Amino acid sequence: MKRAIALIVLLVFFLALPLFIDSRFWLGFWTTTLFFALLGQSWNILGGYGGQVSFGHAVFFGTGAYVSAVLQVRYGLDAWTSGALALAAGALVGAFIGALSFRYGLRGSYFALVTLAFAEVFRVLVNAWDFTGSGFGMLVPMKPGVANLQFADRSWFYYAILALVALAYAITWRVERSRFGAYLVAVRENEDAARALGINAFRIKLAAITLSGAMAAAAGVFYIQYYLFIDSHVGYGPAMSVNALLAPLIGGAGTVLGPLIGAVALGALAELSSALLGKEPGVNLLAFGVLLLVILRFLPNGLMGLWPRGSS
Amino acid sequence: MLHIINFAHGSILMLALYAGFFLFTLGGVDPYLAVLVLAPAFFAGGYLLQRYVIAPIGFGKDTNVLLVTLGLSIIIDNLALYLWTSNTRTIDVKYAQVFVDVGVTAVALPRLVALAAAVLIGVLFWLLMTRTDAGKAIRAVSKERQGARIVGINVEHIFAVSFGLGCAVVAIAACLLLPTFYVTPQVGNAFVLIAFTTVVLGGMGSFIGALLGGLFLGVVEAYSGLLLGESLGQIGIFVIFILVLLFRPTGLFGARAA
């Protein structure tokens, strides 16, 4: 009950937020924060609940962004259909990578490295292929309108990402309370024991990576509509993979709200560090790296670990 | 050797390249002489890093270690970016332009030195691992950690020593690379996956494997670059990496499973 009230208060806060923001800067800040919260949640499903640490989550994000961009630019499809197909593509890539790596029993850091390698393969491919814009990237023409999922009023983008985040978090919440979620956590805690109890670990992990892939692709679809541009480094580069895992690890992996809290903390830290140390490149990431080490050392459950158990 | 998968390896290489660069430009120290300073310095740095940063945070879980080293590499890379900007730097040594005729083709002298040094280091390491007590201890820890502890081996110390050794070799590699290569804060990234691939391909903990794996990868890279063109060519290494991880995780030469 307490938790439901907290969630409603949180939702009302985010819904009302644009009413109190009159600067474009802060609207952009909250929009990107929610974007990272969405990307982080997709990582969290696989890495937080399932314990399958991915170092190449950009592979799903980039697929979402690229499929959506290619369908709109090369085939003239509308943004809604492209977006839906991009989600399916993200799920498919997830299922493909999952089927291969889980089928051959990759665990722990081996799984992490193979996801990274897959992301790099995709990066090289889209960078070399003219169809995907090669080194120049893909530019989606600007045509504001709801049918094109582009909004002249920037606060609409905020509401769009808020809706996606709310949906993703609702799904995660459902997963956490479902039998599937319990199996997933069991696989994370002790895969061999889970299998001994009759859980089909392969299928559970496959389902998790598929869901995770679709969710990260949703973040990619939002990205392409918001920035109207994607290239191989943004789409499939290691930076996006790192972004995907930072928020949940800092907020608290394996909790519903962890990625959101992590994304807010990271956003605040980025602003703080550029205010204190200047806007030189690298300052933000430097602060993120230090925060990651501090969290891993002292708060292995992330910022959510500060909450007393039971009330969350 | 100890299955520490170190994501910061590329960043440490980058640091060593910068150290060599500054020793040369500010102190006029030749990169090959700098080995004498940098290898011990990086051994000490690596030892301390493993003992007091990575081990306490990693809690011995391999994905945690991976995350810690990822955090370290983010810190090192961006600190370098902050301090030294993203400008590409090179050094100019006379012998970089000296070419040696090896029969079929002419090879730049520094590359020949690098090849000889790589073989030499491989042999030295093999001797260290098989002929000395320290090597025995490292092998014991990698096989059976608890057992090693029971017979009186200081496991934490051995972990830190082998991590330090890894860093020292990276420093040597940096000195060998410097005459023909460039330095930027991002330079290490290109090497991380290649290094992992080499080791996985050769079989973890196998020196001959790592050497042969490196040779094989070099050939693959050259051929895929030749067949697929400059931009698509890099794909060869990643594809091999995925295939080896999936189908032969013990490597082509390693017999023991990880």
pLDDT digits (tens, 9 = 90+) for B84-123: 877 777 777 766 666 666 666 667 777 778 888 888 887 8
Cβ–Cβ gap B70/A125 under 8 Å: no
Tens digits of residue pLDDT in B191-225: 777 777 777 776 666 666 677 777 777 777 777 77
Tokens 């949906």 sit at which residue?
A167
Dihedral pair phi/psi, residue B183, rounded to 5°:
-125, 125
Indicate the pTM of the whole model: 0.86
Residues in chain A with CB shorter than 8 Å from the CB of B193 are 116-117, 120
Close Cβ partners of B103 (under 8 Å, ≥ 6 residues apart): none
DSSP assigned state of A50? S
Angle between helix axes B62-84 and A108-128 (nearest 10 degrees) is 50
Contact A164, A86 (CB under 8 A): no
Question: Which residue on chain B is closest to A282 by alpha carbon?
Answer: B78
What distance in Å separates the CA atoms of residue A41 and residue A111, rounded to the nearest whole number? 19
Q: Output the pLDDT for position B183.
A: 83
Question: Which residue on chain B is closest to A122 by alpha carbon?
Answer: B235
Beta-strand pair A229-230/B99-101: unpaired
Q: Which residue of A53, A118, A238 is in closest CB contact with B63?
A: A53
> B234 or A65: whose pLDDT is higher?
A65
Model ipTM value? 0.81
Cβ–Cβ gap A106/B246 under 8 Å: yes
Q: pLDDT class for A224, splitting at 50, 70, 90?
A: very high
Tens digits of residue pLDDT in A182-200: 999 999 999 999 999 988 9
Torsion of CA B41, B44, B45, B47, to 10 degrees: 150
Number of neighbouring beta carbons within 10 Å of residue B225: 16
Stretches in chain B below the pLDDT threshold 50: 1, 255-258
Dihedral pair phi/psi, residue B251, rounded to 5°:
90, 170
Across A165-288, where does the E strand assignment appear? 229-230
A236 pLDDT higher than 70: yes
